[in-house]
Amino acid sequence: MKKITMLLIAAVLCLSVFTAAAGGSNEEGDSPARKTFVTIGTGGVTGVYYPTGGAISKMVNKKSDEYNLKVTVESTGGSVYNVNAIMNGDLEFGIVQSDRQFQAIKGLADWEGNAQDKLRAVFSIHPESVSLLASDESGIYSIADLAGKTVNIGNPGSGQRGNAIDALNAVGLDWETDLKAEGLKAAEAASMLQDGRIDAYFYTVGHPNGSFKEATSGAKSCHFVPIEGADIEAMLGEFPYYAASIIPVSTAYPGASNPGDVASFGVKATLCTSADVSDDVVYAIVKEVFENFEEFKALHPAYSTITKESMLAGLSAPLHPGALKYYEEAGLK
C-alpha cells in the first residue's frame, strides 16, 4: 500500500509539472489563450511576393503577444499552388494573381468545373506586368518573333505561365508546337538567358525585380519585348482581370538595351485566405498593414503607386468577414 501511495503521489506531481509546462493558468485562474500559427504562401525568392509576405509577417509579429498570433512565410510555386494549398488547409494565406483569384472562384482554367467556393479575398497589393525579356542576339523584338525559339513560360503552378500562354494564344502561337517552351522557375531564368540556353523568358512581376536586374546586368545584352497590338487589345477586352501596363525600363533596368519604357499588360497581386480562417486572425493582419500603411509602402519600390483604396480593387472572391470588419471600421467600405 505504501508503494502504491508513493506511485500515486509521483503521478500527481508529474501531471502538475506537465500542466504548468503546457501553459498553466493566469492570475485569475483562467487558462491563457494558445498562440495561433499561420503561414503565408508567396512565390520565388527573386520576385516581389516573397518580400511582401515577409513584410506582412514582420508587422503582425511585432504584436505577436497582443494578438496571440505568429505569422511565417513560405516560398512556393506561385498562385495556383497557393490557392490549392489554402483550400487544402496547408496554408492559411497566399499571394495570388488577380486573374488566378478570378479563375479559382469561377471554376475556370486550372479549376475548370471545380469552383473554389471557400476562397476569400483579403486585399490587393501591387500591380504586376507580364514581362518578356529576350537576348539581343535572339532577334526577338515582338511576341510573334517567339515562333521557333526556346522560351521559358514559367513553372507549372505559377500565374505567369497562364499569362504567357494567354499572350501567345492572342497572337496565334501554340506554346506546345510553335516554340520550345521551358517550365523553369523565375529564379533560374536569368542565368539560363545569360548562358544562352534560352532565348527569352516571361515573368509576371512588380518592378523593379531581382531576376530582371540580374539578367540585364550580365555580359549578354538583352531587352524587354513589348506585348502590344490589336490582338493583345482584343485579349484585354475578353478578360476583365487584365489591363494595359508599362514596364519602367528606363528607371528600373539601366542595363537593358531598350531606348525607353515598354508597353505590356498586367494583373494585380492579391492576398487570399479561406473562409475557414478565423475572423480575428484576418482582422489582425489587415489592421497591421493598413495602420502602418506608409511603412508598408516603403518596403519595396513596387508598392510606390498603391493607395488604401486601390488595395480594395481587383478582388473577385468575396471579402473575408475579418477583412470587411476592419474596412467598415476604417470607413473604406
- Phi first, then psi, for residue 218 (nearest 5°) are -85, 180
How many angstroms from the chain centroid is the CA of residue 97?
6
Write down the domain spans for the chain. Answer: 37-126+268-329, 128-267
| 29 Rama class: left (phi>0) / alpha (psi -120 to 50) / beta | left
> pLDDT value at position 187?
86
pLDDT reported for residue 15: 43
What tens digit of pLDDT does each residue of 196-229 get? Answer: 999 999 999 999 999 999 999 999 999 999 999 9
pLDDT at 1: 46
Residues of the chain with pLDDT under 70: 1-32
Tens digits of per-residue pLDDT, 303-314?
A: 888 999 999 998
**Entry pTM:** 0.81
**pLDDT score at 301:** 86
Q: How many whole angstroms separate alpha carbon 161 and alpha carbon 147?
A: 17
Before 51, cis peptide (omega within 30)?
Answer: no
* Encoded amino acid at 203, one letter: Y
Q: Burial level of 13, CB count in 10 A (0-12/13-18/19+)?
A: exposed
Q: Note whether 72 and 35 are within 8 A (CB).
A: no
Q: Give the CA distances from residue 202 to residues 47, 97, 148, 155, 210, in Å, rounded to whole numbers and listed in that order.
A: 13, 15, 16, 11, 14
End-to-end Cα distance, the chain: 71
The partner residues of 202 in beta bridges, in order of sequence, read: 132
Q: What is the pLDDT of residue 32?
A: 57
Spell out the SS3 assignment of 6-32: HHHHHHHHHHHHHHHHCCCCCCCCCCC
For the structural domain made of 37-126+268-329, what CATH number should be given?
3.40.190.10
What is the C-alpha to C-alpha distance for residues 210 and 159, in angstroms, rounded to an integer? 18
Domains 37-126+268-329 and 128-267 share a fold: yes
* Per-residue pLDDT at 19: 40
Q: At what angle do helices 79-88 and 159-170 cross, to 10 degrees?
A: 130
Strand pairing partners for 251? none
CA-to-CA separations, 37 to 67, 74, 126, 287, in angstroms, rounded = 11, 13, 26, 17
Measuring CA to CA, which residue among 296, 294, 297, 276 is closest to residue 285? 296
CATH number of 128-267: 3.40.190.10
The grid coordinates listed for 244 are: 494595359
**What's the confidence (pLDDT) of residue 291?**
96
Determine contact, residues 8/16, Cβ cutoff 8 Å. Answer: no
